Structure 1
Amino acid sequence: MNLIKNEWQKLLLRKSSWIMQLVLVLMVFLMALLLFFVNKTINTSEGSGEAPRGVTQHFDASGQPISEDQYNSIAKNDSEKAKQIRTEVLSPKDSVSALKMQKKAVTDKQTKEELQRQIDYYQVYADKGKTPLESAGGPDGAQFFGSLAQEASIATILVVIIASTIVASEFSGGTIKLLLTRPYSRSQVLASKLIICIIYAVISSIVLFVSSLLFSLMLGSESYSLPLAPATGSLNAYEMALKLTGTNFVLMLTFLSIAFLFSSVVRSQALAVGVGIGALFSGNIIATFLPLAIAKYDWLKWLIFNLFQLNSMALGNEVAGGLAMWQVILTLFAYIIVILGFTFYIFKKRDVALS
């Protein structure tokens, strides 16, 4: 416990650790300010800039509904007949009925799940007698808050910086020998630093959540208690923000453990930070190319780079390989345990005499 208190005091004394939190708040504010002016410009030039959202349904000359494929075929082959087709955006209640019919007609599991999320979305609006609106501009306050201001990666970078330097700074500052002369094992010393990194990750998550909520008020919203988008089903802004905070925290722990490993291996703070942030960005870049390889080699879906798409899954997207969210989270925790186990092993065996 004394070790944890000591590490916490060190963190408090480092101005950079709190300046980074101010930077996070500033980034959220600037994003809200940018969207405020974007929405204001669009609303000024195009009126409200909003239109009813619902399933688009096509009707033939006799008033019978036709599918999107049928409509495209007619539009391509018979321009005169295409002019007789009427297209309208269905109400939430009618959208639910149309989507249920589509769901019955498909057999693919993934497509069924996507349709069910859309059904859940429109069902809430139908039950409350509301009509979802689609803005021509940027996100409104509820969407801004639900996406955590699209700044989750910034919060993760801050945690990576702390984890990258917390051990390396002891080596570069020459204080590691003094630290290890105290009546604590190397594992206890390293564990105390790991706990502080996790606490900092919790603080960063809370700051991001609260600042996103506060600055979302600048943008206005019809309601924070209504579903955000068809892709995320019935989740409202609060539920979506909490879900994204949770998935991003898992990713924070993953990148934290990777950065912590390099912090324990290298002696240079600058090198540790560079490698830590490099791992974060390179991982996301590699993840964009993995789907092509996974289509050919299914086992590649378990690579850690593919699992970095966890936040994208929270927003309603699918991860390559068709993995469920619980599979991604459990696998990431397995990676975290292995990486941290390797980190503790290296630190216990490391010769500090050369520091």
Structure 2
Amino acid sequence: MRKFFDLVLNEWLKMAKKRSFFIAYGLLIVMPFVVGYIVHSVAEDLFASGPQFAAEMLLPASIGQVVSILVIIGTAGIVAKEYSQGTIKFLLIRARSRTAILASKFVTVLLYGLSLTVVTAAAVYASGMLWFGNGSGLGIGDVLTSLLYNSVYMVMYATLAFMIGILTTSTGVTIGISMFALTISNLIIFRDFYKYVLFPNMNLAAYEGGGAPLPGMTLPFSILMLAVYFLLFLLAGFMVFRRRDVA
């Protein structure tokens, strides 16, 4: 366990050396206050309270989606750049299994995504309280629910980008494909087969108020589909990484 922790720490330090690492945190701290100021200036009565503002902004269709975009960008090169920079050979000659090396990279991706999510949640909540106060409306429980929805959304896209990065070994291609997938995720095809596709199951917030992405879909069904895709993405990524010849 100590050796695995060292691997994760090493991957985290490698990410922290990138300029974009701190830019992402800075952007997610500043953006909620800018958005809050604009909304307060244009439509002061749009939100009844700070928690209501936070709950809305944290959803995947709002600032929450920016978190997923930044995680995709951060995830894209964590494996791909090892190949493009030629460091993959040095990484694999260490006394660590390929599974442990790749697992440490994936854990680092999750920690990065979750840390961005927490920072965003704190900034959004502070912005809401600053511009809209603690009036009537939604409470902290609703904020946490939105945070949970967005965390699931972010983890799925991070896992998708992680797998694509392993399969393509290209940072640019990984970002391109992942961003394309994020863009078309709002596309709805009213056919029975489409409920088994990843995208309509991504945004669990669609079930709020008794709604559903497609007729006949339920929250347990979407959770099950997300779990299946999550495992498939990881299985594909780990199998390819373990068997790829880097000689």
TM-score by length of 2: 0.89
Q: Give the aligned partner of residue 304 of structure 1.
A: 198
Q: Displacement, 1:341?
A: 0.4
State the alpha-carbon separation in 2 of the partners of residues 259 and 344 from structure 1.
13
Which residue of the partner structure matches residue 142 of structure 1?
51
Q: What do residues 221-273 of structure 1 show as CA deviations (whole Å, max 9, x unaligned)?
A: 463xx5x4xxxxxxx33111111111211111111111011111223322222
Could you tell me whether the CA contact under 8 Å between 1:161 and 1:277 is conserved in 2? no
Q: 2:21 aligns with which of 17, 20, 24?
A: 17
Q: Select 1:256's aligned residue among 158, 161, 165.
A: 158
Question: d(CA) in 2 for partners of 1:314 and 1:248?
Answer: 13
Instruction: Determine which structure has greater relative contact order: mean sequence separation of CA pairs < 8 Å that are 6+ residues apart, divided by chain length.
Output: 2
Aligned mates of 2:106, 2:55 — CA distance in 1: 29
Separation in structure 2 between the aligned mates of residue 317 and residue 17 of structure 1, nearest angstrom = 37
State yes or no: 1:344 paired with 2:246: no
* Pairing 1:153–2:65 present: yes
Q: Which residue of 2 aligns with 1:78?
A: none
In structure 2, relative to structure 1, the CA distance for the partners of 1:249 and 1:315 (3 Å cut) is: farther
In the other structure, the counterpart of 1:66 is none
Tell me which residue corresponds to 1:4.
8
Could you tell me how far apart the structure 2 residues matched to 1:139 and 1:156 are?
27
CA contact 2:153–2:203 (8 Å) conserved in 1: no
Letter in 1 for 2:167: V
Q: Which has the higher helix share?
A: 2
Aligned residues: 240
Aligned position for 2:218: 324
Any runs of at least 4 consecutive aligned residues in structure 1 with deviations exceeding 6 A, and if so which? none
| 1:39 is the counterpart of 2:49 | no
Give the aligned residue type for 1:182.
R
How large is the Cα RMSD of the aligned pairs? Answer: 1.9
Deviation of 1:326 (Å): 2.8
What corresponds to 1:92 in structure 2? none
| Contact 2:52 2:143 survives alignment (8 Å) | no
Deviates more, 1:190-199 or 1:242-251: 242-251
| Structure possessing the higher radius of gyration over alpha carbons | 1
Aligned-partner Cα distance in 2 for 1:139–1:166:
42
Q: Of 77, 100, 104, which aligns to 1:192?
A: 104
Tell me: CA distance 1:215–1:316, structure 2 relative to 1, closer, same or farther (3 Å): farther
Displacement after TM superposition at 1:139 (Å): 6.1
1:173 maps to: 85
% same residue: 27
Q: Which protein has the bigger strand share?
A: 1
Measured after TM superposition, the shift of residue 25 of structure 1 is 1.7
SS at match of 1:197: helix
The 8 Å contact of residues 149 and 203 in structure 2, kept in 1 or not, is answered as no
Task: Flag structure 1 segments of 5+ consecutive residues without an equivalent.
Answer: 41-134, 229-235
Q: Output the CA distance in 1 between the equivalents of 2:206 and 2:35.
A: 19
CA distance in 1, matches of 2:9, 2:126: 31
CA distance in 2, matches of 1:21, 1:202: 12
Give the Cα–Cα distance (whole angstroms) in 2 for the partners of residues 237 and 302 of structure 1.
Answer: 34
* 1:147 alignment partner, SS class: helix
Q: Hey, what's the Cα distance between the residues in 1 that align with 2:209 and 2:93?
A: 48
What is the CA–CA distance in structure 1 between the aligned matches of 2:79 and 2:88, rounded to whole Å? Answer: 8
SS at match of 2:214: coil
Q: Which residue of 2 aligns with 1:265?
A: 167
Q: CA deviation at 1:163?
A: 1.6
The alignment partner of 1:352 has SS state of coil
Structure 2 residues without counterparts, runs of 5 or longer: none
1:25–1:207 CA contact under 8 A, matched in 2: yes
Report how far residue 212 of structure 1 moved: 0.7
In the TM superposition, residue 316 of structure 1 has moved relative to its aligned partner by 6.0
**TM-score normalized with structure 1 length:** 0.63
Question: Would the alpha carbon gap of residues 269 and 318 (structure 1) be closer, same or farther in structure 2, given more than 3 Å must change?
Answer: same
Name the CA distance, whole Å, in 2 between partners of 1:178 and 1:314.
49
